Amino acid sequence: MEEEPGSAENLWQTREVERIVHRQLREGSWKYPGGGKEYVRSKEDYNQIETFRVLGLLVEKHGLDRRHPAIEKAAEYLFSCQTEDGDFRGIYGCQYTPNYSAAIMELLIKSGYGADPRIERGFKWLLSVRQNDGGWAVPLRTVGTKFKLTEALKNPEPIKPDKSKPFSHCITGVVLRAFAAHEEYRKTQEANTAGELLKSRFFKPDKYPDRRAPSFWTKFSFPFWFTDLLSALDSLSLMRFSPADPQIKEALEWLNSKQKQDGKWDLPLLRSKDTELSLWIGLAICRVLKRFYG
């Protein structure tokens, strides 16, 4: 709305931020609240995914960046999970996770680490594991049904991708968020190719079993986690795709059809324990519309 919102630092002293930061462990992570259950993955791996989740809250909802010591500590913890190859590993055991690697990178970029050489290494790794069609998939999913996820997590070596297999829009949409968040990588031909692939799959089933149903396109969360229509449009709007594009126009018209008379949107929400989730989704939609229509 072109109004001056004030400094984001005004949000850093709220009780909610203090409560979250108070739970941060010394090495910069947050402990996964799973109690004493037995997991296929280690506790450390679950702490990594919990740290990613909490970082999303602090960055996307409370405006924290690397000037805040909690973000600096969290970033260094997450970078400690990065391999020499450039990917962030552990959430799927020893297996490659282009989706979580990119999702972590997205938040680190938004935190102010876009020029960090470790982020550059992450992008080089992501580009090295693309499918031949220019999108992304979880490598272990491309080698056939013989590898169940629980079995693959026990494998001591990462399973190499079969790059001849088709991309997954679920995975490609998450990876594209990292590219869209970066001032330079959002302009690359590789990002544009992935954007074209992503919008070609709107409202269609995924090629792989994870979140295959078309209905997942229209189930929303914030901060973004999986790929849905809004997270995809968010990336494409940052990359300056045109709202006149037929596939993007169809998606925008669908969102428009769900807006109520009072201005809110009537949408299926995931992680609905957040009583203000519908407002965050509404704000995210407004940002997308602002970028597309200026």
pLDDT of residue 273: 79
Q: Under a CB-based contact definition with an 8 Å cutoff, are residues 70 and 64 in contact?
A: yes
- Cα-Cα end-to-end distance for the chain: 10
Chain centre to alpha carbon of residue 105: 9
**Tokens, residue 49:** 């995914």
Which residue has 């938040």 as its token pair?
A: 107
Q: How many residues does the chain have?
A: 294
For 57, residues 6+ apart whose C-beta sits below 8 A from its C-beta are 20, 223
Which residue has 């669908």 as its token pair?
A: 254
pLDDT of residue 182: 98
> Which alpha helices (H) appear in the chain, and where do they start and end?
15-22, 43-56, 69-79, 98-108, 117-128, 149-152, 169-181, 189-199, 229-238, 246-257, 277-293
C-beta contacts of 81-84 below 8 A and 24+ residues apart: 81/48, 82/118, 82/121, 82/122
| CA–CA dist 125, 230 (Å, integer) | 26
Q: Under a CB-based contact definition with an 8 Å cutoff, are residues 150 and 93 in contact?
A: no
| CA–CA dist 111, 88 (Å, integer) | 17
Tens of pLDDT along the chain (294 residues) come to 889 989 999 999 999 999 999 999 999 999 998 755 544 455 458 899 999 999 999 999 999 999 999 999 999 999 999 999 999 999 988 999 999 999 999 999 999 999 999 999 999 999 999 999 999 999 999 987 555 677 777 778 899 999 999 999 999 999 999 999 999 999 999 999 999 999 999 999 999 988 999 999 999 999 999 999 999 999 999 999 999 999 999 999 999 999 999 999 989 998 767 899 999 999 999 999 999 998
Please tell me the chain's helix, strand, coil percentages from 3-state DSSP, rounded to the nearest 5: 50, 5, 45
121 burial type by CB count under 10 A (0-12 exposed, 13-18 middle, 19+ buried): middle
| CA–CA dist 167, 178 (Å, integer) | 17
Q: Under a CB-based contact definition with an 8 Å cutoff, are residues 185 and 123 in contact?
A: yes
